[in-house]
Amino acid sequence: MKKYLAIIPARYASTRFPAKPLAKLGERPIIEHVYRRVSDVVPDTFVATDDERIADAVMQFGGRVIMTSTHHRSGTDRCWEAYTKSGVEADVVINVQGDEPFVHHSQIQAVMACFEHPATDIATLVKPFAKDAGIDALRNPNSPKVVVGNQHQALYFSRSIVPYLRGIDEKDWLATHTFYKHIGLYAYRTEVLRQITQLPAGVLEQAESLEQLRWLEAGYRITVGYTDIETIGIDTPEDLERAEQFLSQKA
The pLDDT score that the predictor gives to residue 204 is: 97
- CA-CA-CA-CA dihedral for 6, 249, 137, 203, to nearest 10: -20
**Exposed/middle/buried for 52, CB within 10 Å: 0-12, 13-18, 19+?**
exposed
Q: Beta-carbon neighbour count of residue 190 at 10 Å?
A: 17
Q: All domains of the chain, ordered by start, with CATH?
A: 4-244 (3.90.550.10)
Of 27, 46, 24, which Cα lies nearest the Cα of 90?
Answer: 46
The pLDDT score that the predictor gives to residue 226 is: 98
Average pLDDT of the chain to the nearest whole number: 95
Residues ≥6 apart with Cβ < 8 Å to 179 = 128, 129, 138, 145, 161, 173
pLDDT of 251 higher than 60:
no
pLDDT digits over 177-231, tens only? Answer: 999 999 989 999 999 999 999 999 999 999 999 999 999 999 999 999 999 998 8
In degrees rounded to 5, what are phi and psi of residue 121? -95, -45
The tally of CA atoms less than 13 A away on the side-chain side of residue 105 is 6
